[in-house]
Amino acid sequence: MSGLSVAEISADSMIDQYDLSEEIRAGVRPGVEAMLAALSAEQGLSAEGRQQALALFQDNLRRLAAVDADRRRYPEIAEVQIERPVFILGLPRCGTSLLHALIGSDPDVRTPMSWEVAQPSPPPEAATYESDPRAQAFDDYVAATFTGKWADMLKAHPIGAWIPQECGMILETSFQSINPLTMFRIPAYYPWYLKADTSFAYKVHKMFLQQLAWRNPRKRWVLKVQEHAYHLPELFSVYPDAMLVQPHRDPVTVQASICRLIEVLRSTAMVEQDRIALGQELLHLWHDGQVRMMAYRKANPGVAIHDMRYKDLAADPVEAVRGVYAFAGIDFTPATEKGIRGWLADNPAGKHGKHVYALDDYGLTQAQVSDVYADYIEAYRDYI
């Protein structure tokens, strides 16, 4: 399809390239249509950026088709139980990736590793997990890809085969995810996403967890991505016993950091980037998720959620993880602490260089951010 313009590609022609069950095909089609329409309407992407977006869409369908095919080949995958999963969510740049990685170092806890989300088929096996060649292939990809304009990505966000992967890379295979919007700036997709019933996305999410756990189980799953905040009713419809962990941080610091990260992420796909427009876009994008999350929490006061301070995580990571485990009912063992301390030793702050950012680079002021986030600051003042 690389020789076709976006306008010449239909949802059906893209989906037809992959062997999908009728249920999965029906579930994915509305999102494929919405993303293709948004991509066609966006004028700010370069020709290379459009091809990158199409390649991402095709890779998402490839991964979903692989999981779907394995599920039909091995029906027992659908019987794998996912009990009391823990979801880390909140604003970006609040230490969620650090917390996820620290917990992922615990040998008794299952987090989805980057290599297995990228190549989920055949299902990983415990006996060969540590030596699976797909892990090295992923690290080779990272070494070849995150150079040039993308080199700064590694300064802001750890990337590697054995780094836990965010749920966004799973959810995007359903075409009901905010991920592509942040990567390629396709704003016409955002209103569709906000209105969508994303129950299908969470069914796909569970399919991935069952796929990865079938031959390589652990006692508990711990997951992470900010976009869960937008669709908590759908999350709980699939995972009724889910538990939530929400780190909090000053939105002023958060906003400057995420603007720089998204600017770098989009750098290879855009003809040029308007930093002022980017600042305004992201100022409201992430706040929208918090508005929905605060409303859900108010309407469901019994939801199992652990609020925590980013400052506490930065000051004493071991104790911060211990607090999460106490909340979730996960045993904090000597192996847990050893894993955490080992990860911290192997991944010191600034390992790939300093992530530099400033609010005024994006036409924003502290007062502006504080005004938009006034409701969030008031609700979580004790944790900021």
Mean pLDDT computed over 367-378: 97
Task: Say which residues have a Cβ less than 8 Å from residue 264's Cβ, sequence separation at least 6.
Answer: 149, 150, 152, 153, 156
In the predicted model, is pLDDT for residue 2 greater than 60? no
- Measured at the alpha carbon of residue 21, what is the angle toward residues 20 and 27, in degrees to the nearest 5? 85
Dihedral sign from CA coordinates of 193, 196, 201, 202: positive
Upstream peptide bond of 107 is cis (omega within 30 degrees of 0): no
Ramachandran quadrant class, 88 (left: phi over 0; alpha: psi -120 to 50; beta: rest): beta
What domains are there in the chain, each with its CATH number? Answer: 6-383 (3.40.50.300)
The string of pLDDT tens digits covering residues 245-275 is 999 999 998 998 899 999 989 998 999 999 9
What is the Cα–Cα distance from 29 to 13, expressed in whole angstroms?
A: 11
The string of pLDDT tens digits covering residues 348-363 is 865 545 556 799 999 9
What is the Cα–Cα distance from 223 to 237, expressed in whole angstroms?
A: 16
CA proximity to 113, closest of 180, 167, 183, 57: 167
In the predicted model, is pLDDT for residue 151 greater than 50? yes
Q: Please, are residues 169 and 161 in contact by the beta-carbon 8 Å criterion?
A: no
In the prediction, which pLDDT does 249 show? 95
The string of pLDDT tens digits covering residues 4-39 is 668 779 999 999 999 999 999 999 999 999 999 999
In the prediction, which pLDDT does 146 show? 79
What is the Cα–Cα distance from 365 to 281, expressed in whole angstroms?
A: 14
The string of pLDDT tens digits covering residues 48-94 is 999 999 999 999 999 999 999 999 999 999 999 999 999 999 899 89
